[in-house]
Chains A and B, each alone.
Chain A
Amino acid sequence: MRANLIAVLVLSGIGFLWTYPFLWMVSAAFKTQLGVFSGGAGLIPQPLELGNFARAWKSAGFSVLLFNTVFYATASATIEVIKSSTCGYVLARYEFPGRRLLYWLVVATLFVPLATVLLPQFLLVERLGLLNTRAGVVLGQSSGAGALYVLLFVHFFRRIPQDLFDSANLDGASFPRTFLLMLPLARPVIAVVVIFQFLQSWNDFNVPLVYTIGQPSLQNLAVGMFAFQGAHANDWSGFAAATLMSLLPVLAVFLAFQGYFVGGLAGAVKE
């Protein structure tokens, strides 16, 4: 009981400091520009200003940024799930020439830093004519952690009992049909891949920065907000309003899937 009181008090104190940048942003979104400037550390908007949201929505091209971000995150997560599940499945269950080589290459390139390969990637995308297109950004984002996801699927499919495959074969299931039967079993792995890749893409600053330099209308929130702040250096209340609006959707997603996030990871650990 006493430990509980102390813990809750200490946690509340630290928690307040922890969320202070958020709270500041929320309050700044309702402050006037002058109010932000003179308000110091205070959190109460005085006077209250409600026009920031409309201004930010218009001048940041906010709806476009939001659309781009959701599009990139969804597309790259989908691509990652497809390519890593099919590749992991085959690596785990079938013998073919070059299997060992491919497996060890994947392991060896698990953590190549993006900065090491970014320039040739950029030149490749440019040569494909995809620079300053959405497809280019999605391609750039769908290559980063791919090796890791493949290993997760390999590890999972390897542990599916052979009996399941035998009975699928007895039923005359074809190669793709067997895969589709097994795929739903990998739900925890799929969840982890989707969550990781979605967050990765959502927060990605480097790929969109380099690939959309000529096209602000193709940027995601991370880069677009940076550009917005650069162009409206004094409009902190507009920036705060835009940030707040950009966080609401992902906050909703997070609160809805919070249990799944920890659960999915824990499931992957236990497997």
Chain B
Amino acid sequence: VPDAEIDFVSATSAEPILDRTTSQQSRSTYLWILLFLLPFLVLYLGFTLWPLVATAAYSTFDWDGIGALSRFVGLGNYLTIAADPTFWRSLSNTLIFALLNTAIKLPATLFLAVLLTRRWLWMKRFFRTIFFLPVIIPVSVAGLVFTYLLNPSNGALNAFLRASGLVHQPVDLLGHDGTAILVLALISVWQIFGQYLVYWMAALQMVPADLYDAAEIDGCGEWAKLIRITLPLILPIAVIIAMLAFINALYVFGLVVTLTSGGPGHATYVMSYFIYVEAFSQIPFRYGYASAAALLYGLLALVFIASQAHLVRRTGENRRAYAE
């Protein structure tokens, strides 16, 4: 869920500039600085930096987690991965899922956020609550509920379709290679919807109300206001929200475990699930192999993030140039 924060641009666009020269800091000040950094540093070293190094190191060993790291295989694990169809399927599934999920949830949540922030609309609070609601359901529980609703024998969907005469044979949406990943993406949209709704609503609050008033005097309708005022003004934040949306979709895990266990076949294997299965859920554990996959996955995420961060920064610069 939390994914992250809207104010990503300004938080990362420049490193902090100190207002004063602080060269004559006393010894006790340095001690306090160290003390203040300590809680973060300890956890950061133990749970982020060291694990990154360790993952890289493990990936060059053939290791089942029992005993010492002794069978060095160099790039052997990577060569095995390159020839592993399940890995490639997981990779393409992850990208397909992330693209589908993002392409559906972003426009839908933006549209609804715009609608739910119109001054004229009735029952705004009620609808906001309704559409936010699924966020509070743990992902795994959402997955279980949908396995029941969608199950082909007596789930609600099939009961409805049959009662209305739309189908005669039960439909098994999660049991088909072609539809499973799409259904997964849609359920994920349902679950995460409220979070992006809130992001957009926060972004929309930044648009000064008097701009709309002026536009109304000029006779602009809702559509014109959206295209000419709202969208250009929230663009820098929109790019960040899009980035967060895509990155978070790349990390999908819980829904896959509870809805499909990667199936049918490998139709919904995604990267995090592939790594989890290799490392934790099949015996013998393949820690070395899982680590190689984990590192490749991290690099993939990094490439996407770096390219999108570049886009974020450029949008910010364009906007600044435009403002001047």
Chain A interface residue bracket vs B? 35 or more
**Size of B's binding interface in residues, CB under 8 A:** 108
Question: Which residues of A (216-271) have their CB < 8 Å from a CB of B?
Answer: 221-223, 225-226, 229, 236, 239, 243, 246-247, 250-251, 254-255, 258, 261-262, 265-266, 268-271
Known: A40-B159, A113-B301, A119-B287. A150 touches B190 (CB 8 A): no
- Please count the residue pairs between chain A and chain B whose beta carbons lie under 8 angstroms apart in the complex: 313
Question: Which residues of B (271-324) have their CB < 8 Å from a CB of A?
Answer: 271-272, 275-276, 279-280, 287, 290-291, 294-295, 297-298, 301-302, 305
A83 to B47, CA, bound (A): 14
Q: Which of B55, B146, B199, B287 contacts A21 (CB 8 A)?
A: B146
Interface pair B47/A86, CB less than 8 Å apart: no
Interface pair A15/B15, CB less than 8 Å apart: no
Interface pair B33/A15, CB less than 8 Å apart: no
A25 to B137, CA, bound (A): 12
B68 on the A face (CB < 8 A): no
A124 on the B face (CB < 8 A): yes
Rounded to whole Å, the gap between the CB of A38 and the closest CB of chain B is 7
B67 on the A face (CB < 8 A): no
Residues 22-65 of chain B: 1 if any A CB is under 8 Å from the residue's CB, otherwise 0? 11010011101100110111011011111110110010000001
Q: Which of B4, B39, B127, B253 contacts A206 (CB 8 A)?
A: B253
Interface of A is mostly: helix
Nearest chain-A residue to B287 (Cβ)?
A: A119
The interface residues of chain B lying within 8 Å CB-to-CB of A247 are: 136-137
Residues 202-214 of chain B: 1 if any A CB is under 8 Å from the residue's CB, otherwise 0? 1101100000000
The interface residues of chain A lying within 8 Å CB-to-CB of B100 are: none
Nearest chain-B residue to A166 (Cβ)?
A: B20
The interface residues of chain A lying within 8 Å CB-to-CB of B135 are: 199
Question: Which residues of A (20-60) have their CB < 8 Å from a CB of B?
Answer: 20-22, 24-25, 37-42
Known: A41-B163, A83-B43, A117-B51. A222 touches B141 (CB 8 A): yes
The interface residues of chain B lying within 8 Å CB-to-CB of A239 are: 144
Interface pair A254/B253, CB less than 8 Å apart: no
A161 to B128, CA, bound (A): 37
The interface residues of chain A lying within 8 Å CB-to-CB of B5 are: 148, 151-152, 192, 196, 268
The interface residues of chain B lying within 8 Å CB-to-CB of A265 are: 6, 198-199, 202
Nearest chain-A residue to B156 (Cβ)?
A: A41
The interface residues of chain B lying within 8 Å CB-to-CB of A210 are: 276, 280
A215 to B313, CA, bound (A): 46
A121 to B46, CA, bound (A): 8
Most buried by B among A21, A139, A176, A225: A21
Interface pair A83/B39, CB less than 8 Å apart: yes
A122 to B291, CA, bound (A): 13
Contact surface of A with B, Cβ cutoff 8 Å:
3-4, 7-8, 11, 15, 18-22, 24-25, 37-42, 79, 82-84, 86-87, 89-96, 100, 102-107, 109-124, 139-140, 142-143, 145-148, 150-152, 154-155, 158, 162, 175-176, 179, 192, 195-197, 199-200, 202-203, 205-206, 209-210, 213, 221-223, 225-226, 229, 236, 239, 243, 246-247, 250-251, 254-255, 258, 261-262, 265-266, 268-271
The 3 closest A-B pairs by CB, nearest first: A40-B159, A196-B2, A143-B47
Pairs across A and B, CB under 8 Å, 18 listed: A4-B120, A11-B115, A40-B159, A41-B156, A87-B39, A89-B36, A90-B33, A93-B18, A95-B18, A96-B25, A116-B55, A116-B301, A117-B294, A148-B4, A175-B29, A196-B5, A202-B138, A247-B136
Q: A119-B55, A196-B4, A209-B257 are known contacts; what are 14 more A-B pairs with Cβ within 8 Å?
A: A7-B115, A21-B146, A24-B145, A96-B25, A102-B37, A103-B15, A115-B294, A119-B54, A124-B51, A179-B36, A196-B5, A206-B276, A247-B137, A270-B206
